Amino acid sequence: METGLAAQNAPRFAKRPLFKKILFSLLPLLFLIAFAEIALRLFQRKAVLLWRTCERSQIELWHTAYPARYDEHLGWSLQPGATRTAAELGVPVSIAPNGMRSNGQAAPAAAAAILAVGDSFTFGDEVGDNCTWPAQLERDRGKPVINGGVFGYGFDQIVLRAEDLTAREKYAVLIVGVIDDDIERCEMSCRTVWKPYFEIDGDGLILKKRSRSENGDRKIVAL
């Protein structure tokens, strides 16, 4: 009886169109591809969320020791109005409401101020507000000196910050403090957290940085 049924079904399957045979054969493969695509997207999404968490954690960890905040353009900048005490020396570290390091003293009256930009040496890492070299320059010259230095900056970030600050306000003099390590930092796209960087394009440079796309993922964009 079973042999007879098999004999009846065999010709029926053999008479099916070729495209149906191919379709039935591909269905399991298509199912596996769809499953793999969904699994990959979920994994990638989880990885992006993990990266955001790590990046946020790095900023928050940095913020416990330094008055830092995330900056879409520069990677990080100073937290306006923040106050800290340098753990090693117990000296005050104050950030003015305009996002600049305080000089710990009332600024002299003048028509235009001097702007100083740079890395931690300009910012005055591990020294009090009135002991940074911009604060001392202010006392020596009798003119207001704005301390625009930010710890950890590369020369590329220093230039971008100087452009931002001078676009907002006019200064009598611009002083750029640079050390050799600032040049090496230009090679990095991430230093604890992400940072902008430049790529050589012929005789010019292209500024690149991470930016959030519409779905929230981070991507590298040229500006």
| DSSP string for residues in 121-143 | HHHTTTS-GGGSHHHHHHHHHTS
Residue 146 and residue 149: Cα distance in Å, rounded?
9
In Å, what is the CA distance from 4 to each residue of 8, 9, 10, 14, 16? 6, 9, 10, 16, 20
Sequence-ordered list of residues with C-beta below 8 angstroms from that of 89, at least 6 positions apart, any chain:
126, 127, 128
Terminal C-alpha separation, the chain: 77
- Under CATH, which number does the domain 66-222 receive? 3.40.50
pLDDT of residue 115: 97
Radius of gyration, alpha carbons of the chain: 30
Amino acid identity for residue 218 in this structure: R
Q: Print pLDDT tens along the chain (223 aa).
A: 555 555 555 555 556 677 676 777 777 777 788 877 777 666 655 544 444 555 555 555 555 567 888 888 898 999 999 887 765 557 888 999 999 999 998 888 877 899 999 999 999 988 999 999 999 999 999 999 999 999 999 999 999 999 999 999 999 999 999 999 999 999 888 877 788 989 888 888 899 876 544 333 444 444 3
Residue 182 and residue 198: Cα distance in Å, rounded?
14
pLDDT of residue 51: 46
For the chain, domain boundaries: 66-222
Sequence-ordered list of residues with C-beta below 8 angstroms from that of 195, at least 6 positions apart, any chain:
74, 75, 76, 154, 156, 157, 185, 188, 189, 209
Amino acid identity for residue 62 in this structure: W
Q: Evaluate whether 121 touches 179 at the Cβ level (below 8 Å).
A: yes
Kindly report the number of other CB atoms within 10 A of residue 48's CB atom: 14
